[in-house]
Every structure is written in structure tokens, then in C-alpha cells.
Amino acid sequence: MMTVRILLVSLLLSTNIAAQNRIQISPKPVSVKENPGEFKLSSETEIVLWGGSLKQEAVYLRDYLNQYFQLNLKIDSSGKSKASSRIVLNYDRLDHPFPGAYNMTVKSDEVYIGGDNPSGVFYGIQSIIQLLPSKAGEIPVIPNCEIQDSPRFAYRGVHLDVSRHFFPVEYIKRYLDYIAYHKMNVFHWHLTDDQGWRIEIKKYPLLTEVGAWRDGTLIGKHPGKGYDTIRYGGFYTQEQIKEVVAYATSRHVEVIPEIEMPGHSMAAIAAYPFLSTTPDKPKKVAKGWVNYGDYEYNNVLNPSDTTFKFLEDVLTEVMELFPSQYIHIGGDECSKRWWKESTFCQKLKKEKGLKDEKALQSYFIQRVEKFVNSRGKSIIGWNEILQGGLAPNATVMSWMGTSGGITAAKKKHYVVMTPGSACYFDHPQRANDDSTGLGKPVLIDSVYAYNPMPKVLTPEFQKYILGAQANVWTEYIGNTSKLEYMLFPRLAALSEVVWTPQKDRSFSEFKKRLVKQKERYEMWGINYSK
Ligand code: TNX
């Protein structure tokens, strides 16, 4: 009896282990059932569209299979294919509160993906990609299985600061690929800051002629060892921006542009000094960290009608380029020194009955919000937009811990969580990292352990937490291999935080799956931290 039992247990264990080896999807799906047998892809396999408007998803899958497995599959848009081996893309009605859910069944002659909409189908395809071998050129077989899956959060973001260091369009597209592989769905593009303005604005050509270039860059970690004298910069033309947005859309990633105000605006001010409180003093695009008030050229946007006219013009062009519902208006770390020293600002404060400079910041953001809302769009800003009173319809991105997010959610404002301790991927991956990073290490363990849903919020307010985001500030990230080193594999951990139900998450089990994910990283040509 005893031996039978041992045998049974070990049999069960070994099938379990086999299952783990065959199906290792990250982020972990909601439910997976493995079945015996497998689906073999061959040049005879067809991608068959039962649901309409899924051509883009089919092309994406075909191109992936072509790139990594040299298979050029036929796409049958009529849905009538009689092929004996097929991958069917279809719609299923799945009751999920927001897009992205899918069902998938793999049988020996058919892979069936039913998404709630094209993005659900796309995520099914991402799961297929992870069921395929993790080494290019191996025989493309997929284990038979049944998967039901849906995202935990609607907002699953990855940010990139292209101001401190610039990354060309071709690389941004790769970045978008990586975002999509992780079933993330927002790219927050930090396009302007003190160290460079990176988006062409037709009405204000100096923003890129002057503001996109700096005379040098800080050497080493702040306060650094002086500055080099290499002219540094770059920007995206409006045509390139459209190209990026289209590319992102085809990967079900929404691009949220960020135009910083009223602080972090030295590049714009260097181009148009009238935007500042000291227009007659010399201005320069910052070469390194702008130490709030101390940096000799530092200033912030003056809350004058001329500035608001400028911002409205800029935002008009920006809103035409980006279909996103959200425009990120920054709002963080605005030194109040300049407004305190400005007679214009003091007069304005009195006129408007504003208590202090924080109230002036609130006035600034609310005025911009009114404009953005009048164009049918919404603003999102860093948690400092809570200062002096939150703009009525604003969404808050909580970076200084989670308290700003909690406060905002309690006021029934939407929130994206991005606390430094879990979501700041510009921080080192480990203690004594050999590469310069900012602040304390953010270990993959802490990323994984993060739960964006604050326990203190009752269900009534929990619904305001839209999700979470990884931030990649690039003060010390000057090239793409370092960028990837900082992002991976922490992004795999965060993707599970925002995708997989909290109750199904286990770090030790995730780490086992990470081995496979790292093999995929090798295949995709990603430089990741070992
Ligand atoms: C704070 S996070 C900033 C960025 C810096 C970052 C460095 C935020 C809204 N502002 O400008 O790059 O710290 O970690």
C-alpha cells in the first residue's frame, strides 16, 4: 500500500514538474490546464481569422514566427480555411471589466484564441510566443493546454525618460516590443525636462533648435566630477512621433506623452526665456541635475498669460499627435523660489486670492487642466499636483510612496501607483551594483512583493487604483544596453504584479519561471541583469 502511494505521489509530482517545464508563461495566467500532446507548427499551418478586424494581430504573429522560426504562414481572412493545422483568432464574450481577456485552447490540430477584443487576442498571441521554444530555430511545438486569462489592472505602464538621455526612434520601437511581450499596455514617454526638449513643435521651432541640445553632460554621479564638453541631444520629428504611435497601437500599447510644467522646464526656457520669471538673465539647457533653486540658470515657468498661450499651443500640437485620452503634464518638483522672488507672481497671488506658492502651483495646473478638458482629454500628473488642491478631473501618478495615491483615491480621483521602492528602475538592481544608479537598490524581490492595491482603501475607493508603472529615469543611463540592464528582469516581476491575481502570485515559483524568461531575453537580444 505504502509503495503504491509513494509511486502515485512521485508520479503526480513528476507530471507536475513536466507541466511546469512545458508551460512557463510570465506574467502567470489566471488559469492553465495542461493536456497531453502538442501542436506542431509547420509551413502548412494557417492563421485563420474567424473574428473580423484581426488582421493586424495575425500579421504580428506571422512576423514573429518568421523572425524566430523561419515560418511564413498563410493568413486566411475569409475564415473558411480547411487547413489541417491552424491557429484560429476569434472573439469570445468574456465578462471582464476592461479589455485584454482571452481564452485559449491548444489541441494537436488547432490553436484557438478567443479574445474579448483585439487586445485580448493579442495577449493570447503573447502567450503562444511563450509556449513556443525559448531558443530561436528550435522545432516550433506548443503543448496542448487550456488557458483562461485576463489582466488584474487596466493600466500597466512603462515609462522612459528621453530627456536626460536620448534614444532614437528605432530603439523606441524595440522598447515597445518589450513592453508588449510583458503584456504591459502603456508607454509613458517623458519627452521634456531640464536637460532636453525632445518633440518637434511646429509653432515654436526653437524648442528643438535650441532646447534639444546641451553643451555637455555631468560626469559621474551627482554632484559629479564636472561636465564634459560634448554637445549632446536629439529630438523626434512629428512624423517620427506618428510612426511610434502607430507602431505602439499595433502592439496594443497606448502612448501617453509627458510635457513637464511648471518645473523641469529649463530646456523650454532656454529656447524661449520669456517663459521664465527672469527673462533677461542668460538661460541654458541643463547639463546635469538641477538642484531645485541653486543651479545658476535654473528657473521655472512663469504663470503668465504668455506662458499659458505657449502651453496651449504646444498641447494643441501634442494632442493632435497622440490619440491617448491622457496627457501627462508633469507637475513634480517645482521650486517655489522663483515665484516667491517674482513681483509678477506675488501680484498674481494677491489678485487671485491664493494663499501661498503651492496654491499658485494648483492654479497653474487647474488652468492647464481646463484647457486640456476643453479638448476632450484628461490630465495626469505626478503627486505634487495635490499641492494646494487637486485639479477637479486629474489622475494622480503617485511616486513619493503611495500616500499621494491613497489621498487622491479617497477623493475619487484615478491613480497610477509608481512608488520608488518598487517601481523605480533607475535605482540599482542590487547592493554594490557595478553600474551607477540613483538611490537605494530596488531588488527584483521588492518589485515582485509590491501590491498596488492599498489595504487601507475600501472597495468603494479601490476602483480608483488603475494600476502601476515602472519608471526609467535616464540621468545615468546613456545607452541601450544599460537601459535594458536596468529594466530586465525587473519588468517581468512588475508585469506579474499588474497582471496576475494577487492570490496566485508566489515569488519562489516566479523565480523558477524566470529561468525560461531569461532564455527568451537572450533570444530577443535583450541585455538583462543576471
Ligand atoms: C525624481 S520621479 C524625478 C525625476 C528624476 C528622478 C530620479 C519624478 C516625478 N521626478 O525628475 O529623474 O527623481 O530618480
- Cell numbers representing residue 351 in the block: 489678485
- Cell numbers representing residue 430 in the block: 542590487
Contact call for residues 422 and 446 (beta carbons, < 8 A)? yes
Task: Please give the distance, rounded to the nearest whole angstrom, from the Cα atom of residue 161 to the centre of ligand 1.
Answer: 9
Atom 6 of ligand 1, residue of closest alpha carbon = 473
Does residue 332 line the site of ligand 1, with CB under 6 A?
yes
Q: What b/e string do you get for 220-239 counting C-beta neighbours within 10 Å, with b at 16 or more?
A: eeeeeeeeeeeebbebbeee
How many Å apart are CA 47 and CA 52, to the nearest integer? 13
How many Å apart are CA 364 and CA 304, to the nearest integer? 9
Q: Which atom of ligand 1 is nearest to the CA of 474?
A: 12
- The phi, psi pair for 146, rounded to 5°, reads -130, 130
> What is the reported pLDDT for 15?
45
Neighbours of 462 (CB within 10 A): 13
Neighbours of 428 (CB within 10 A): 21
Q: Indicate which residues carry an active-site annotation.
A: 193, 264, 333
Does residue 400 line the site of ligand 1, with CB under 6 A?
no
Neighbours of 75 (CB within 10 A): 17
For the chain, the distance separating the N- and C-terminal CA atoms, rounded to the nearest angstrom, is 46
> What is the reported pLDDT for 294?
55
How many Å apart are CA 317 and CA 295, to the nearest integer? 31
Q: Which of 382, 384, 320 has its CA nearest to residue 357?
A: 384
Task: Please give the distance, rounded to the nearest whole angstrom, from the Cα atom of residue 472 to the centre of ligand 1.
Answer: 9
How many Å apart are CA 477 and CA 290, to the nearest integer? 17
> What is the reported pLDDT for 16?
46
Distance of CA 383 to the CA centre of its chain: 18
> What is the reported pLDDT for 6?
52
Q: Which atom of ligand 1 is nearest to the CA of 418?
A: 2
Contact call for residues 329 and 381 (beta carbons, < 8 A)? yes
Does residue 425 line the site of ligand 1, with CB under 6 A?
no
> What is the reported pLDDT for 432?
87
Distance of CA 329 to the CA centre of its chain: 16
- Note the residue count of the chain: 530
- Cell numbers representing residue 199 in the block: 518633440
Atom 7 of ligand 1, residue of closest alpha carbon = 473
Q: Which of 332, 476, 486 most suits a substitution to test ligand 1, by most atoms within 8 Å of the C-beta? A: 332
> What is the reported pLDDT for 340?
96
Average pLDDT across each block of 10 residues of the chain; the chain has 530 residues. List them in order. Answer: 50 45 95 97 97 96 97 96 96 97 98 98 98 94 98 98 98 98 99 98 98 96 93 98 98 98 97 97 92 72 98 98 98 94 98 97 98 98 95 97 98 98 96 88 98 97 98 97 98 98 98 98 97
Q: Which atom of ligand 1 is nearest to the CA of 400?
A: 2
What percent of the residues of the chain are helix, what percent strand, and what percent coil, each to the nearest 5? 40, 20, 45
Does residue 421 line the site of ligand 1, with CB under 6 A?
no
Atom 9 of ligand 1, residue of closest alpha carbon = 332
Q: Which atom of ligand 1 is nearest to the CA of 438?
A: 14
pLDDT tens string 106-149? 999 999 999 999 999 999 999 999 999 999 989 999 999 999 99
- Cell numbers representing residue 249 in the block: 497601437
Does residue 426 line the site of ligand 1, with CB under 6 A?
yes
